[in-house]
Amino acid sequence: MAVYTHLGAEVLADLIGQYDVGKLVSAKGIAEGVSNSNWLIETTGVDGTGARFILTMYERRIDVRELPFFLGLLDHLAAKHCPVPATIHDRAGNAYRDLDGKSVALIEFLPGVSIDEPTPQQAHAVGQALAQIHTASEDFSATRANDLRPADWGKLFEQCGDDAIAAINPDLLAAIQSHLPTLIDDWPEHLPKGTIHADLFPDNVLMLNDTVSGLIDFYFACSDIAAYDLAVTHAAWCFSDDGTQFHSDISKGLIGGYLSSRSLTPAEQEALPILAKGAAMRFIATRTFDWIDTPDTALVARKDPMAFVRRLNHYDALGQNAFHIPDQTANG
Ligand SMILES: Nc1ncnc2c1ncn2[C@@H]1O[C@H](COP(=O)(O)OP(=O)(O)OP(=O)(O)O)[C@@H](O)[C@H]1O
Ligand SMILES: N[C@@H](CCO)C(=O)O
Q: How confident is the model over 21-47, as pLDDT tens digits?
A: 999 999 999 988 778 899 999 999 999
φ, ψ for residue 78, nearest 5 deg: -65, -40
Nearest to 322 by CA among 267, 254, 261: 254
Q: Would you list the DSSP string of 132-162?
A: HHHHHTTT-----B-S-SHHHHHHHHHHH-H
Considering only the C-alpha atoms of the chain, give the largest distance between any 2 of them, rounded to a whole number of Å: 61
109 lines ligand 1 (CB under 6 A): yes
The pLDDT confidence band at residue 60, using thresholds 50, 70 and 90, is confident
- How far, in Å, from the CA of 261 to the mean position of ligand 2? 26
Domain ranges of the chain: 9-108, 120-329
CA angle 273, 255, 82 (to 5 degrees): 120
How do residues 293-332 score in pLDDT, each as one tens digit?
877 776 678 899 999 999 999 999 999 999 988 874 444 4
199 lines ligand 2 (CB under 6 A): yes
Q: Which residues pair with 52 in a beta bridge?
A: 42
Domain 9-108 has CATH 3.30.200.20: yes
CA angle 62, 203, 75 (to 5 degrees): 55
Looking at domain 120-329, its CATH architecture is Alpha-Beta Complex (3.90)
200 lines ligand 1 (CB under 6 A): no
Nearest to 317 by CA among 246, 264, 269, 249: 246
ipTM of predicted assembly, 2 dp: 0.95
Which amino acid, residue 203? D
The pLDDT of residue 1 is above 70 = no
φ, ψ for residue 19, nearest 5 deg: -115, 155
Tell me the pairing of strands 102-108 and 97-99.
antiparallel
For ligand 2, pick from 219, 303, 311 the residue to mutate: most ligand atoms within 8 Å of CB.
303
pTM: 0.95
